[in-house]
Chain A
Amino acid sequence: YTLPASRNKVISHLLLTEPSPLAANQDESTNDGSLKTLLTLCDLLNRELLLLIGWAKHIPGFSGLSLVDQMSLLQSGWMEALLVGVAWRSQRTGDELVFAGNLRLDEAQCRAVGLADLYVALRHLTCKYQSMNLSQEEVVTLKAMALANSDADPVDCADSVQRFQDGLHEALQEYEATQRGEQHRAGRLLMSLPLLRQTADRAVAAFLRLHRQRRIPLHKLLLEMLDAK
């Protein structure tokens, strides 16, 4: 990321703490091409998840929540937060999904590893973001809002979670009013959240199916978070 252009403190902070993109580590445990791709992807997701948990602690207001609420929000919203990044990186790449700079999967590759449904859903989300021409500021804010808005149940301290959400909403509104000047922009971004949740639900279902039906081994953190869904 380049230096933050936003004068909004919350969004500038989110930009500064955004982790650098990870590279995929090619799995060497099998000669089966599609299995190799899938294991490489799962390893990448596990490492991204670890970074996301560290990043969440830097979202203004997150660390003030109770530990129970922090856990609930992450358990509900982690896949949405990760997919914001995938969809954003996959813009203007033709028909590929860019999970990492060195892990780009087209439709046929996704189908071969059992992720055909996820491919369709993620391309839909990618096209949506592309048509909205998102800025980096909007991407990091959407990511934080996806976590804050994860509708975790039960919530330990609903007021604190509400204040956390309100803080991010205010930041988005201020940014849109001062930087983009489009009257309905903040609302349009919020209206893209249902598609993000739908896509994340499909992703979670797909990885759980691969784990249970095809016995794909998953890292402990990734499995724990998938199971929490």
Chain B
Amino acid sequence: KEKHKILHQLLQNSTSPVDL
């Protein structure tokens, strides 16, 4: 999960900002 952090965050609908 750590390696695929951004995809994980996007799918979880994270409210924290995602650094793209």
Contacts and interface: CB of A to CB of B under 8 A. Distances in A.
Interface of A: 46, 50, 53-54, 57, 67, 70-71, 74-75, 219-221, 224-225, 227-228
Interface of A is mostly: helix
B: contact size bracket: 10 to 19
A225 B20 contact: no
**Would you call the interface of chain B mostly helix, strand, loop, or mixed?**
helix
A155 to B, nearest CB: 16
Contacts of A224: 3-7
B2 to A, nearest CB: 11
Interface string B1-20: 00111111011100000011
A53 B19 contact: no
Contacts of B4: 71, 75, 224, 228
B11 A221 contact: no
A220 B6 contact: yes
B8 A71 contact: yes
B20 A221 contact: yes
A54 B6 CA distance: 13
B20 A67 contact: no
A174 B20 CA distance: 39
B11 A50 contact: no
B11 A67 contact: yes
21 contacts: A46-B20, A50-B10, A53-B7, A53-B10, A53-B11, A67-B8, A67-B11, A67-B12, A70-B11, A74-B7, A74-B11, A75-B4, A219-B20, A220-B6, A221-B6, A221-B7, A224-B3, A224-B4, A224-B5, A225-B7, A228-B4
